[in-house]
Amino acid sequence: MKKLTVIIGLLLVAALLVFVSCASAPQSAGESKGSVSPTTPTIPTRQTIPPGPTSMVPPAPPPPVIVVERFSSGAPPPVIIALGEQLDTDRMIVRTANMQLVVDDVPVALDRIAEFAQGFGGYVVSSNRWGEAENLAGNIAIRVPAENFDRVMRSLRGLAVEVTSESTSSKDVTEEYIDLSAKLHNLEATEEQLLRLMEKAEKVEDILSVQRELFRTRGEIEQTQGRIQYLERTSDTSLIEVYLEQARLDVSFAADKRSVRASRKIQFTIRQVAGGFEPYSYQWDFGDGNTSTDRSPTHAYKTTGSYTVTLKVTDDRGNTATETREGYIFIVPGWSAGITASGAWNGLVTFGHVLANIFIWVGIFSPVWIVIGGIVYWLLRRRQRRKAK
């Protein structure tokens, strides 16, 4: 009986130990799951940002999770940045236009277009004026708010005598803008993580490695920001480039001699023909009944006098310009024997008239001359007598 009691006691003790070990098994298992072996890598947790509110952009699949890993000795586990946001933005359209206009006066048109740009809240990007051969031309580029694009185009058409060509184009940069914004967000997050790593780094090689990554990331951030700003500016304003040709003609001419003898040839040349459209035609009127259609004619006048010269220029589209110079050419008599003899006789007659005038003056004033002569003679005789004594 005593042996039976001992055996029952041992069985109860064994059962109690088994019960205690079963009760403590879940806790030890949980603790073993929490422990990390030095050779076992930590699996990072992925963080997902829920998508933002929908916009005018059509729904697209969420972008892939971008994992940015930076390793160094003693560094924290890899950093994971998940981008799932969609930007709430309107469509971004870049509109440009090119126009070729024929205007009455290029300088005046350039000023008017600049006024249009300022009046509609824009500005002038560039402006040039030049002369090609005998044509006066120019171009101007302006930027105006996108909402005023159509009104500015109508104003420019109203300024022209003729619209030679016109073209417009539109480019949707919304997708590029969204991509750049997401890229910028990721780069800024990466830069923030790199700054944290910089604070924790202790070794020189780790610090230099993180610095290089910071410089590279900062460069990409600035480049991306610049592109974003460019897209914002170009989508807010529209670029209009205008090429100008002048329809109004300006003409001027000159002669190599203006005062010549009769029968001497005079060369007429065109100083300038500005505006219009080549080829040009020319009509000269020399004022003595003779005309010419040459560009640079020569002409000899037969009769003395002054003459008015007129030049009329017509371009390929019928535009005309006229310059008239009143009394521009003076013709004096040419040489001949009769004219020379007549001139000599006239000179002799003139000389005779001068001599006759002298004699008349001497005759009229003769009493005066006699008195003066007598006084002078008496003074001279008196002086000689004094010397003789």
Residues 213-249 pLDDT 10s: 888 888 888 888 888 887 777 767 888 999 998 877 8
Number of domains in the chain: 2
186-203 CB burial, b ≥16 within 10 A, e <16: bbbbbbebbeebeeebee
Which pLDDT score, from 0 to 100, does residue 88 have?
45
Do residues 181 and 256 share a domain?
no
Q: Which domain holds residue 261?
A: 250-332
Last residue of a domain, one of 207, 223, 248: 248
Asked if 168 and 286 sit in the same domain, the reply is: no
Share of the chain above pLDDT 90, in %: 20
Q: Is residue 7 part of a domain?
A: no
Residue 228 lies in a domain: yes
The CATH number given to whatever domain includes residue 314 is 2.60.40.10
Same domain, 225 and 285: no
Mean pLDDT over 178-188 rounds to: 85
Lowest model confidence (mean pLDDT) among 87-101, 115-129, 144-158, 200-214: 87-101
If asked whether residues 237 and 266 sit together in one domain, one would say no
Which tens digits make up the pLDDT trace of 290-337? 999 999 999 999 888 899 999 999 988 888 889 999 999 998 876 556
| Domain membership flag for residue 178 | yes
**300 backbone φψ class: left, alpha, beta (φ>0; ψ -120 to 50):** beta
Query: pTM score, two decimals?
Result: 0.44
∠ CA 338-340-342, nearest 5°, is 65
Residue 35 in domain: no
Cα distance between residue 249 and residue 274, in whole Å: 6
Whether 73 and 208 map to the same domain: the answer is yes
Identify whether residues 179 and 258 lie together within a single domain.
no
